[in-house]
Amino acid sequence: MGTGVCVQLLTHFPYPSYWLSNLAYVFWIADICLFAFFMALGILRVFMFPAIAKNIIDDFSQTSYLGAIVVAWETIVLGVAQFYSSRTAGIYAAEAMFWIAVVGSSFVAFGGIYFMYTRQKAHSLEQVNGVWFLTFIPLIVCSTLGGAVAPHLSYENGILVLFVSFLMWSLGVGMSFMLVPIYIWRLMSTLLPPQAVIVSTFVPIGPFGMGAYSTQQLASGLARRIAQRNFTLTNPPQPPSDGAYIATIGEAIQWAGIILALFQLAVASFFLVEGVLAICTRAPGPFNVAFWSFVFPCGVYANAWNLMSTNLRNEGLKGWAASCTVAVVLLWLFCASMSFWKGVWQGKLFFAPGLQGSLEKQEIEKRHIDPERPSNEDHNPYGLAFHTTHTGEQVHRKARSDGSYKKVRIDD
């Protein structure tokens, strides 16, 4: 996600340059390689431990993370539409990949909520966090993808893609707005998230920053299609006598898109300020994977300002958008270098989300602190893994062959 959004930032930089386009292409290739590598690892893990798939469905935080996979796919498709729009095969591929993204986004959004109230345990207010927005962000990114692909399609196919994209944007932004009061009430009731995941307070920027970009793009696409066929709601789909009337309609649609985008950018700016204040209040501590929560939300926020500054042709906005873009790219460089250092070089960074990954991480940390200390399983003949909860209670869990755990009595 973070690498993919950098592609869009460099492509839509307010001060375009040929070398920026080449650099964006390098980022896009890196995005494809990273996506393929981690998807292969994820699929291999599920095949080796089939019960993991059930755990993903039964834990909403893990279900939400499926949205990150869909968004990563969508950033790749945006690159196809951007770099290969001049080739017929590229457009066909982008259109086919768009419909795959529609299916994936719909599954995460509809399936995630359905599993939430049918398969999963009752949720408490303390469990609400910024990751929940990942359930609906893929819908909004998919609408952006449709806006990028539609101009290169035939009139009929382009209208269909725009229609679906408007539906995806409406659902994604609408559900995100419904989640906002729950999320804010959670912060008011139970205070900030733990230090290790404090950067998740930046995730709510994502749907509204991406929504602001998508709104402007879809409005421009609709205005272009209306002008192409001189279509109006009060006249048959045939050229009317007054061409200025059609131009006025298109102009009004684009201004409506800009106004709606400003509304969403205002909400995104609120969460940006609150996120900065949150990390100033509670420092995030040592680098971990959660730091990547900075990159994508801030990236789509900057990208929305890039398009806004271009549409309004305002030099002040261009300077602000360029500053945001540079800051996000520097943030990406920091996260990428630290991920390589701690993840690849030291092997201390990557763990599966959820309880199972937490237990694995704690056991590895114990061995790292005292290498001569045997693991928990060596202390008892039952293969028990000991986990101390936040209340100080010691929970005994027995490892299954699939890598998951189950509670057992110590005298079993």
Domain-located, residue 133: yes
Residue 34: CATH number of its domain: 1.50.10.150
Domain-located, residue 412: no
- pLDDT tier at 390, thresholds 50, 70, 90: very low
CA atoms of 199 and 201, how far apart (whole Å) = 5
Q: Are residues 284 and 398 located together in one domain of the fold?
A: no
Q: Are residues 343 and 374 located together in one domain of the fold?
A: no
pLDDT of residue 237: 56
Segment 38-50 shows an average pLDDT of 86
Q: Are residues 380 and 271 located together in one domain of the fold?
A: no
Q: Are residues 324 and 377 located together in one domain of the fold?
A: no
Query: Per mean pLDDT, which range of 42-51, 151-160, 249-258, 343-352 is the poorest?
Result: 343-352
pLDDT of residue 123: 82
With vertex at residue 10, the alpha carbon angle to CA 84 and CA 300, rounded to the nearest 5 degrees, is: 100
Q: Are residues 233 and 321 located together in one domain of the fold?
A: yes
CA atoms of 7 and 30, how far apart (whole Å) = 10
Question: Is pLDDT at 294 greater than 80 in this prediction?
Answer: yes
Q: Are residues 30 and 153 located together in one domain of the fold?
A: yes
Query: Which of these three, 305, 320, 352, is where a domain ends?
Result: 352
CA dist 354 to 80, 81, 285, 400, Å?
34, 35, 20, 16
Q: Are residues 254 and 395 located together in one domain of the fold?
A: no
Domain-located, residue 301: yes
Query: Per mean pLDDT, which range of 71-85, 330-344, 389-403 is the poorest?
Result: 389-403
Domain-located, residue 401: yes
CA 74 to chain centre: 10
pLDDT of residue 380: 44
Q: Are residues 394 and 272 located together in one domain of the fold?
A: no
With vertex at residue 83, the alpha carbon angle to CA 103 and CA 303, rounded to the nearest 5 degrees, is: 75
CA 138 to chain centre: 6
Domain-located, residue 99: yes
pLDDT of residue 377: 41
Segment 237-243 shows an average pLDDT of 59
Q: Are residues 310 and 392 located together in one domain of the fold?
A: no
Question: Is pLDDT at 241 greater than 70 in this prediction?
Answer: no
Question: Is pLDDT at 394 greater than 60 in this prediction?
Answer: no
Residues belonging to the chain: 412
For residue 388, the cross-strand partners are 394
Domain-located, residue 213: yes
Range of the domain at 95: 2-352
Segment 13-21 shows an average pLDDT of 93
- pLDDT tier at 332, thresholds 50, 70, 90: very high
Q: Are residues 274 and 344 located together in one domain of the fold?
A: yes
Q: Are residues 342 and 391 located together in one domain of the fold?
A: no
Question: Is pLDDT at 325 greater than 70 in this prediction?
Answer: yes
Domain-located, residue 314: yes
Write down the mean pLDDT value for the chain.
84
Q: Are residues 167 and 293 located together in one domain of the fold?
A: yes
Segment 157-181 shows an average pLDDT of 96
Torsion of CA 148, 150, 152, 156, to 10 degrees: 180
Domain-located, residue 386: yes
pLDDT of residue 405: 44
- pLDDT tier at 185, thresholds 50, 70, 90: very high
Domain tally, the chain: 2
pLDDT, tens digit (0-9, with 9 covering 90-100), for 99-138: 999 999 999 999 988 988 888 888 888 888 888 899 999 9
Segment 163-184 shows an average pLDDT of 96
